[in-house]
Structure 1
């Protein structure tokens, strides 16, 4: 268990450090996750080393939505005053994600239907 957590938090630390040192506009946790993904793809680390810990984090992911929920309640007045741009951005990003995902799956499938 300690090995898996050390690997996951190690990549988080590396990502945060790179983001801070190079003043990147990308959050450190995203950089760490991308680095972890590449480490898994190129067999630098084994999936078995982090599988149990990753499953634990996924099972308990709902806890991570509590702070954003509290933020929405706290800033409801501001969100309400900007409802149209927020809703527009949500609809456009949803549609764009849907189309791009469909095209990507089509590309991976070789255009077969």
Structure 2
């Protein structure tokens, strides 16, 4: 395994949003461009998938952060909080094998 690992939590937010937007885009395309009238049961199923996509976008980033953090720490990595950074939805967490690598990353960011 590498000495430095970064984990981008923000991609998981976008996964859920992509599922939701994709479903609504599919409905709009079928009904408005191709004039296909979807049955109420089909729309209900697609709406449920869209809601699941929203839930996925809200819950998956937190569960994956917790899971990856435990995995990396159990394999001897330490969280390098000073080298990690955040901007809007994008959260990049950095894990290193030792404290010296963490200090090197902090110095490189300055």
Q: Same fold (TM over 0.5)?
A: no
| Higher RCO (CA-CA < 8 Å; seq separation 6+) | 2
Which structure shows the bigger proportion of residues in helix conformation?
1
**Which has more radius of gyration?**
2
Q: Which has the higher strand share?
A: 2
TM-score between the two structures when normalised by the length of structure 2: 0.31
TM-score, with structure 1 as normaliser: 0.31
